[in-house]
Amino acid sequence: MWGLLLALGAFAPAVGLGLGAPGASVLGLAPPATTEAPGSTPAPRSSPAQPPAERANGTSEQHLRIRVIKKKKVIMKKRKKLTRPSPRVTARPQVTTSPAGTLNLTEKQEPGCPPLGLESLRVSDYQLEASTSQSFGLGPHRGRLNIQSGLEDGDLYDGAWCAEEQDSEPWLQVDARHPVRFSGVVTQGRNSVWRYDWVTSYKVQFSNDSRTWWGSKNHSSGMDAVFPANSDPETPVLNLLPEPQVARFIRLLPQTWLEGGAPCLRAEILACPVSDPNDLFPEASVLGSSDPLDFRHHDYKAMRKLMKQVNEQCPNITRIYSIGKSHKGLKLYVMEMSDHPEEHELGEPEVRYVAGMHGNEALGRELLLLLMQFLCREFLQGDPRVTRLLTEMRIHLLPSMNPDGYETAYRRGSELVGWAEGRWNHQGIDLNHNFADLNTQLWEAEDDGLVPHTVPNHHLPLPTYYTLPNATVAPETRAVIQWMKRIPFVLSANLHGGMNDFSYLHTNCFEVTVELSCDKFPHEHELPQEWENNKDALLTYLEQVRMGIAGVVRDKDTELGIADAVIAVDGINHDVTTAWDGDYWRLLTPGDYMVTASAEGYHSVTRSCRVPFEEGPVPCNFLLTKTPKERLRELLATGAKIPPDLRRRLERLRGRKN
């Protein structure tokens, strides 16, 4: 439908990415050895130069000297450390190392600066360069945190930057376009279903002109710091710089990598903006919004508190309710917004937004929390667009369908959560694939010529296997299905997940899936701009419910609404049904349509309905007359006298039958 597509076109663009491969341990690979970059300074390994004495349990004992700063005194202590017998570089975010082998234990590492934008694509492809690349699909533009590979080996768009194997001094370079304060680096290995490649250590260099470079130094030795990197392909590893550096360019120089593999990595750079007193560089784009909203990530308690605040601020247009609980018992809260909350008004459509089906996809969750704040605030200020929305429809906002998964992702943080952690619910179920497959059922029936006379083209029942007591159906999924059945939704969008087909075939609701961003869990710093990117589209999509026809199907004699009457449009192989009070909505693009209303026990009625280009919906009401048999059945049930017109019609029917 072109109107809906126009609405969707306003959403921030996203890149369709595949799922990654599991870690090496899944395939039972041996602990990785490392390969040093030719010509580079060797990085320290976790085993000493002389073989340590073996312990009875198969581990080895090693003494390390560490510096502990306490009350401005330097105290030298000895500590025993158990290491595995196989030499291995293990990435520990809180440790930086030097070629001399000295360890500096810093404070718990927390990224103070926001990401530069490799993952979110704010850093464009032309800002990324590399010493060499194995192929275009493994070029520097693919060295973005959490980027995913294709399903075929050698895909045009692979899952990392990989230098050529003969490259003696590999590097990946990022141009920030203006001076920034670099504070840290997050790295991952290569995402691939065919190969296992990751960097185990690297150095960092900086430049203002891409010709003269200086390195990040170790505090104790004054030598170039060598940072521990990854020990598997997917886990993000954060290293903060010993000293933040102000520069325009940054380079990552792999020093060691998985034995038998290649120097491959995905990265995000942490950097804070700085002022340019000489005005030598173009002004950096400012991420922000003029709306005074709560731009931060909200865990379960903070989300519940925020929704309560919105409800208290706008009690006459809001209601909070729960549709069920997660596997761990967290409630699935919904914010309802309308001029008459908790009431389905005759002729008023019901619309919904759902977010957080994958717990680590936090942007949709925050956009819905921002939307409810915005609607409340603008309604109080008398904004005509928002006022019309809330008086002409009933809006339901479910910001977190998978609260258990979100809590897992939230604890890791935006840059360290990775592509999969928190994606599933607490049972390990991917809610995206947990709704019943009704497509196959319908397609097979269509191939057999059974639609719509034997198998309906709407409101398909749940398959038998799906209703069994031992069916693998998550409590979150069951809660959403029951929610769909209770409320006659007309239009919906899922930010993001695969229940759109289920919703369309099992209920009246037309639903789309919206891919919001390449960054599943954007930094809080980016939320104001993401809100500006999507605010108008969120409102415009809601307004699409006005496109098409709407009306009430009534009993001609009683003028009461008829529930479950079928509304069929000639030429469209999908019908909708009326709600319990007889009202219906049918989304249609402009044009002339022949529409038929039918119900059990009634004669069908067909009429022409025209949808203009002007904003609707167009009223298209129906009055249905009961069949003689149905009228007779009702009269006999009540003991009423049969009226003359019904007696004559029954006699004519008997005559035709004889």
Catalytic positions, please?
A: 515
The counts of H helices and E strands in the chain are 11, 27
Q: Which two tokens stand for residue 293?
A: 């909203």
Q: For residue 540, what are the CA distances in angstroms to 429, 537, 543?
A: 33, 5, 5
How far apart are alpha carbons 523 and 279 in whole angstroms? 28
538, 541, 543, 547: CA torsion to nearest 10? 180
What does 406-473 look like in DSSP terms, one character per residue?
A: HHHHHHH-TTTSTTTTT-S-TTS--GGG-S---HHHHHHHHHTT-TTTTS-SSSPPPPGGGGSTT---
Q: Which two tokens stand for residue 175?
A: 């141009």
How far apart are alpha carbons 356 and 339 in whole angstroms? 26
Burial of residue 101 (number of CB atoms within 10 Å: 0-12, 13-18, 19+): middle
566-569 and 576-577 beta bridge pairing: antiparallel
- Cβ atoms of 552 and 346 within 8 Å: the answer is yes
- Cβ atoms of 254 and 263 within 8 Å: the answer is yes
Please report how the helices 300-313 and 403-412 are oriented relative to each other, as an axis angle in degrees rounded to 10.
110
- Cβ atoms of 116 and 123 within 8 Å: the answer is yes
Name the residue among 217, 212, 233 with its Cα closest to residue 145: 233
SS3 500: helix
Residue at 333: amino acid letter = Y
- Provide the b/e sequence for 580-607 (b: ≥16 CB within 10 Å): ebbbbbbbbeeeebebebbbeebeebee
Cα Rg of the chain (Å, integer): 31
Give 141's DSSP letter: G
How far apart are alpha carbons 547 and 559 in whole angstroms? 26
Burial of residue 406 (number of CB atoms within 10 Å: 0-12, 13-18, 19+): buried
- Provide the b/e sequence for 391-405 (b: ≥16 CB within 10 Å): ebbbbbbbbbbbbbb
- Cβ atoms of 46 and 272 within 8 Å: the answer is no
Please report how the helices 384-392 and 362-380 are oriented relative to each other, as an axis angle in degrees rounded to 10.
100
Q: Which two tokens stand for residue 283?
A: 């002004």
For tokens 């009246």, the residue is 508
Count other C-beta atoms under 10 Å from residue 103's C-beta.
Answer: 16
SS3 328: coil
- Cβ atoms of 145 and 15 within 8 Å: the answer is no
* Nearest-5° Cα angle at 310, 307 to 311: 85
Give 381's DSSP letter: T
